[in-house]
Protein backbone atom coordinates (compact mmCIF):
# COMPACT_ATOMS: atom_id res chain seq x y z
CA UNK A 1 0.00 0.00 0.00
CA UNK A 2 1.13 3.58 -0.58
CA UNK A 3 1.04 6.45 1.92
CA UNK A 4 0.60 10.19 1.38
CA UNK A 5 2.70 12.15 3.86
CA UNK A 6 2.46 15.88 4.59
CA UNK A 7 5.71 16.11 6.57
CA UNK A 8 8.25 14.24 8.66
CA UNK A 9 10.10 16.22 11.33
CA UNK A 10 12.17 15.74 14.46
CA UNK A 11 11.01 17.57 17.57
CA UNK A 12 9.89 17.05 21.14
CA UNK A 13 6.43 15.70 21.84
CA UNK A 14 4.74 18.92 22.89
CA UNK A 15 1.51 17.57 24.32
CA UNK A 16 0.08 15.04 26.69
CA UNK A 17 1.69 12.62 29.11
CA UNK A 18 4.77 12.15 26.90
CA UNK A 19 5.48 15.89 26.60
CA UNK A 20 9.19 16.65 26.46
CA UNK A 21 10.19 13.37 24.82
CA UNK A 22 12.18 13.41 21.59
CA UNK A 23 10.09 12.11 18.73
CA UNK A 24 9.91 11.89 14.98
CA UNK A 25 6.55 13.18 13.78
CA UNK A 26 5.05 11.44 10.78
CA UNK A 27 2.21 13.63 9.62
CA UNK A 28 -0.10 11.99 7.10
CA UNK A 29 -2.15 14.00 4.62
CA UNK A 30 -5.92 14.20 4.80
CA UNK A 31 -8.61 14.04 7.46
CA UNK A 32 -12.12 12.62 7.60
CA UNK A 33 -13.46 15.58 9.64
CA UNK A 34 -12.24 18.55 7.53
CA UNK A 35 -10.98 18.97 3.96
CA UNK A 36 -8.17 21.18 5.25
CA UNK A 37 -9.29 24.09 3.03
CA UNK A 38 -10.01 27.33 4.88
CA UNK A 39 -13.14 27.93 2.80
CA UNK A 40 -14.57 24.66 4.15
CA UNK A 41 -13.68 25.23 7.80
CA UNK A 42 -16.99 26.79 8.92
CA UNK A 43 -19.01 23.80 7.72
CA UNK A 44 -16.54 21.10 8.75
CA UNK A 45 -17.23 18.61 11.57
CA UNK A 46 -13.94 19.67 13.23
CA UNK A 47 -13.55 23.45 12.93
CA UNK A 48 -10.68 24.39 15.28
CA UNK A 49 -7.80 22.51 13.69
CA UNK A 50 -4.36 24.12 14.08
CA UNK A 51 -2.66 22.02 11.39
CA UNK A 52 -1.93 22.08 7.65
CA UNK A 53 -2.34 18.53 6.39
CA UNK A 54 -3.14 19.22 2.72
CA UNK A 55 -0.98 17.78 -0.04
CA UNK A 56 2.33 16.05 0.48
CA UNK A 57 4.43 13.33 -1.02
CA UNK A 58 3.69 9.72 -1.74
CA UNK A 59 5.66 6.74 -0.44
CA UNK A 60 5.02 3.60 -2.42
CA UNK A 61 5.63 1.14 0.41
CA UNK A 62 5.97 0.84 4.19
CA UNK A 63 9.68 0.06 4.25
CA UNK A 64 10.70 3.20 2.34
CA UNK A 65 8.50 5.35 4.59
CA UNK A 66 9.93 3.77 7.75
CA UNK A 67 13.45 4.41 6.46
CA UNK A 68 12.57 8.04 5.76
CA UNK A 69 11.34 8.38 9.35
CA UNK A 70 14.62 6.92 10.62
CA UNK A 71 16.70 9.22 8.41
CA UNK A 72 15.02 12.32 9.89
CA UNK A 73 15.24 11.28 13.53
CA UNK A 74 18.94 10.76 14.21
CA UNK A 75 19.13 8.37 17.14
CA UNK A 76 15.50 8.95 18.18
CA UNK A 77 13.47 5.74 18.08
CA UNK A 78 10.07 7.11 19.04
CA UNK A 79 7.66 8.04 16.24
CA UNK A 80 4.39 9.93 16.68
CA UNK A 81 2.06 9.18 13.80
CA UNK A 82 -0.36 12.06 13.30
CA UNK A 83 -2.00 14.09 10.59
CA UNK A 84 -4.56 14.88 9.46
CA UNK A 85 -6.16 11.69 10.59
CA UNK A 86 -3.70 8.80 10.71
CA UNK A 87 -6.53 6.29 11.03
CA UNK A 88 -7.07 6.77 7.29
CA UNK A 89 -3.66 5.39 6.32
CA UNK A 90 -1.77 3.80 9.21
CA UNK A 91 -1.71 0.01 8.91
CA UNK A 92 -0.02 -2.99 10.50
CA UNK A 93 2.50 -3.23 7.69
CA UNK A 94 3.87 0.23 8.48
CA UNK A 95 3.85 -0.39 12.24
CA UNK A 96 5.77 -3.61 11.62
CA UNK A 97 8.33 -1.83 9.42
CA UNK A 98 8.84 0.88 12.07
CA UNK A 99 9.23 -1.73 14.82
CA UNK A 100 11.78 -3.47 12.60
CA UNK A 101 13.90 -0.31 12.66
CA UNK A 102 13.68 -0.14 16.46
CA UNK A 103 10.88 2.42 16.82
CA UNK A 104 8.16 2.60 19.43
CA UNK A 105 5.05 3.79 17.62
CA UNK A 106 2.59 6.31 19.06
CA UNK A 107 -0.53 7.64 17.36
CA UNK A 108 -2.58 10.81 17.69
CA UNK A 109 -6.11 10.16 16.46
CA UNK A 110 -9.60 11.64 16.56
CA UNK A 111 -10.80 8.13 17.38
CA UNK A 112 -13.56 7.95 14.76
CA UNK A 113 -11.89 5.21 12.72
CA UNK A 114 -10.55 1.85 13.77
CA UNK A 115 -6.84 1.51 14.51
CA UNK A 116 -4.48 -1.28 13.47
CA UNK A 117 -3.03 -3.47 16.20
CA UNK A 118 0.56 -3.24 17.41
CA UNK A 119 0.62 0.40 18.54
CA UNK A 120 2.74 1.25 21.59
CA UNK A 121 0.89 4.43 22.61
CA UNK A 122 -2.63 5.51 21.65
CA UNK A 123 -3.76 9.11 22.20
CA UNK A 124 -7.41 9.76 21.35
CA UNK A 125 -8.68 13.33 21.02
CA UNK A 126 -12.48 13.21 20.66
CA UNK A 127 -14.33 15.73 18.55
CA UNK A 128 -17.87 16.99 19.26
CA UNK A 129 -20.47 15.64 16.89
CA UNK A 130 -18.61 12.41 16.14
CA UNK A 131 -19.01 8.84 17.27
CA UNK A 132 -15.97 7.42 19.03
CA UNK A 133 -14.78 4.07 17.67
CA UNK A 134 -11.56 3.93 19.71
CA UNK A 135 -12.78 3.71 23.30
CA UNK A 136 -9.62 2.49 25.00
CA UNK A 137 -6.02 3.59 24.96
CA UNK A 138 -3.24 5.29 26.87
CA UNK A 139 -4.45 8.87 26.94
CA UNK A 140 -7.65 10.67 26.16
CA UNK A 141 -6.70 14.27 25.35
CA UNK A 142 -9.79 16.44 25.00
CA UNK A 143 -9.47 19.86 23.39
CA UNK A 144 -11.38 22.13 25.78
CA UNK A 145 -13.93 23.58 25.74
CA UNK A 146 -16.06 22.07 22.98
CA UNK A 147 -19.83 22.47 22.80
CA UNK A 148 -21.24 18.96 22.79
CA UNK A 149 -18.12 17.27 24.18
CA UNK A 150 -18.13 17.75 27.95
CA UNK A 151 -15.33 15.95 29.83
CA UNK A 152 -17.90 13.94 31.82
CA UNK A 153 -19.01 12.19 28.62
CA UNK A 154 -15.63 10.39 28.37
CA UNK A 155 -14.83 9.49 31.97
CA UNK A 156 -16.26 5.97 31.71
CA UNK A 157 -13.88 5.02 28.88
CA UNK A 158 -10.85 2.77 29.32
CA UNK A 159 -7.91 5.19 29.24
CA UNK A 160 -4.97 5.39 31.62
CA UNK A 161 -4.80 9.21 31.51
CA UNK A 162 -7.39 11.95 30.99
CA UNK A 163 -6.15 15.37 29.84
CA UNK A 164 -7.68 18.69 28.90
CA UNK A 165 -5.87 20.69 26.23
CA UNK A 166 -6.93 24.33 25.92
CA UNK A 167 -8.28 25.12 22.46
CA UNK A 168 -5.79 27.32 20.64
CA UNK A 169 -7.15 30.25 18.70
CA UNK A 170 -8.46 33.69 19.59
CA UNK A 171 -9.73 32.49 23.00
CA UNK A 172 -6.65 30.54 24.04
CA UNK A 173 -6.10 32.49 27.28
CA UNK A 174 -9.70 32.11 28.43
CA UNK A 175 -9.72 28.45 27.38
CA UNK A 176 -6.54 27.85 29.38
CA UNK A 177 -8.08 29.45 32.47
CA UNK A 178 -11.21 27.32 32.05
CA UNK A 179 -9.16 24.13 31.67
CA UNK A 180 -7.14 24.95 34.80
CA UNK A 181 -10.35 25.59 36.74
CA UNK A 182 -11.78 22.28 35.56
CA UNK A 183 -8.67 20.32 36.57
CA UNK A 184 -8.70 21.94 40.02
CA UNK A 185 -12.27 20.81 40.64
CA UNK A 186 -12.08 17.46 38.74
CA UNK A 187 -8.66 16.07 39.72
CA UNK A 188 -8.73 13.02 37.48
CA UNK A 189 -8.20 15.45 34.61
CA UNK A 190 -4.72 16.84 33.96
CA UNK A 191 -3.74 19.93 32.01
CA UNK A 192 -2.04 19.38 28.64
CA UNK A 193 -0.34 22.48 27.27
CA UNK A 194 0.96 22.67 23.71
CA UNK A 195 4.49 23.25 24.97
CA UNK A 196 6.07 23.25 21.51
CA UNK A 197 4.13 26.44 20.73
CA UNK A 198 5.35 28.02 24.00
CA UNK A 199 9.01 27.36 23.28
CA UNK A 200 8.78 27.87 19.51
CA UNK A 201 9.71 24.46 18.11
CA UNK A 202 7.74 22.48 15.52
C1 LIG B 1 -3.88 18.09 14.34
S2 LIG B 1 -4.47 16.74 15.31
C3 LIG B 1 -4.07 15.33 14.29
C4 LIG B 1 -4.48 14.01 14.87
C5 LIG B 1 -5.97 13.71 14.86
N6 LIG B 1 -6.61 14.10 13.67
C7 LIG B 1 -6.66 14.31 16.06
O8 LIG B 1 -7.45 15.23 15.88
O9 LIG B 1 -6.39 13.83 17.17
C10 LIG B 1 -3.25 16.64 16.64
C11 LIG B 1 -3.71 17.11 18.00
O12 LIG B 1 -3.90 18.52 17.98
C13 LIG B 1 -5.09 18.81 18.66
N14 LIG B 1 -5.55 20.12 18.20
C15 LIG B 1 -5.95 20.44 16.95
N16 LIG B 1 -6.29 21.74 16.87
C17 LIG B 1 -6.12 22.25 18.11
C18 LIG B 1 -6.33 23.54 18.68
N19 LIG B 1 -6.79 24.56 17.96
N20 LIG B 1 -6.03 23.70 19.98
C21 LIG B 1 -5.57 22.68 20.74
N22 LIG B 1 -5.35 21.45 20.26
C23 LIG B 1 -5.63 21.22 18.96
C24 LIG B 1 -5.98 17.65 18.28
O25 LIG B 1 -7.13 17.53 19.11
C26 LIG B 1 -5.04 16.50 18.46
O27 LIG B 1 -4.94 16.11 19.80
N1 LIG C 1 5.93 19.27 19.03
C2 LIG C 1 4.74 18.81 18.63
N3 LIG C 1 4.07 17.95 19.41
C4 LIG C 1 2.91 17.47 18.94
N5 LIG C 1 2.10 16.54 19.53
C6 LIG C 1 1.07 16.29 18.72
C7 LIG C 1 1.19 17.07 17.57
C8 LIG C 1 0.30 16.92 16.42
O9 LIG C 1 0.17 17.84 15.61
O10 LIG C 1 -0.31 15.85 16.30
C11 LIG C 1 2.34 17.83 17.72
C12 LIG C 1 3.03 18.80 16.92
O13 LIG C 1 2.60 19.28 15.87
N14 LIG C 1 4.24 19.24 17.43
S1 LIG D 1 -9.68 15.69 13.39
FE2 LIG D 1 -7.56 16.28 13.86
S3 LIG D 1 -6.57 16.68 11.86
FE4 LIG D 1 -8.79 16.51 11.51
S5 LIG D 1 -9.44 18.62 11.47
FE6 LIG D 1 -9.72 17.89 13.58
S7 LIG D 1 -7.81 18.33 14.70
FE8 LIG D 1 -7.42 18.59 12.50
MG1 LIG E 1 0.27 19.92 16.12
ipTM of the complex: 0.99
Per-residue pLDDT at 199: 98
CATH number at residue 110: 3.20.20.70
Percent of the chain, pLDDT > 90?
100
Contact 130, 109 (CB under 8 A): no
State whether the beta carbon of 13 lies less than 6 angstroms from ligand 2: yes
Q: Quick: pLDDT tens for 145-171.
A: 999 999 999 999 999 999 999 999 999
Count Cβ atoms below 10 Å from residue 159 Cβ, excluding itself: 19
- With the C-alpha atoms ordered 144, 150, 151, 153, is the resulting torsion angle positive or negative? negative
Per-residue pLDDT at 141: 99
Q: What rounded mean pLDDT belongs to the chain?
A: 99
Per-residue pLDDT at 105: 99
User: pLDDT-based confidence at 49, cuts 50/70/90?
Assistant: very high
Per-residue pLDDT at 125: 99
Per-residue pLDDT at 170: 98
Q: Quick: pLDDT tens for 130-144.
A: 999 999 999 999 999
Per-residue pLDDT at 178: 99
Per-residue pLDDT at 74: 98
Give this prediction's pTM.
Answer: 0.99
- Ligand 3 centroid to Cα of residue 10, in Å, is 21
State whether the beta carbon of 138 lies less than 6 angstroms from ligand 2: no
Which atom of ligand 2 is the closest one to the Cα of 15? 5
In sequence order, the 6+-apart residues with CB closer than 8 A to the CB of 61 are 1, 2
Per-residue pLDDT at 190: 98
Burial of residue 141 (CB within 10 Å: 0-12, 13-18, 19+) is: buried
Structural domain boundaries enclosing 179? 3-199
User: How many structural domains compose the chain?
Assistant: 1
State whether the beta carbon of 113 lies less than 6 angstroms from ligand 3: no
Per-residue pLDDT at 32: 99
Per-residue pLDDT at 133: 98
Mean pLDDT of 41-61: 98
Q: Is 135 annotated as a binding residue?
A: no
Amino acid sequence: MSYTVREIFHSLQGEGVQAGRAAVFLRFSGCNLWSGRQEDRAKAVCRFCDTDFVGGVKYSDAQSLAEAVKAVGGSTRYVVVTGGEPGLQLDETLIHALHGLGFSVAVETNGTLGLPSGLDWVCVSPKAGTELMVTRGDELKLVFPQDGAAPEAFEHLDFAHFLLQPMDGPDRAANTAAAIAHCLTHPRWRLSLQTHKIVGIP
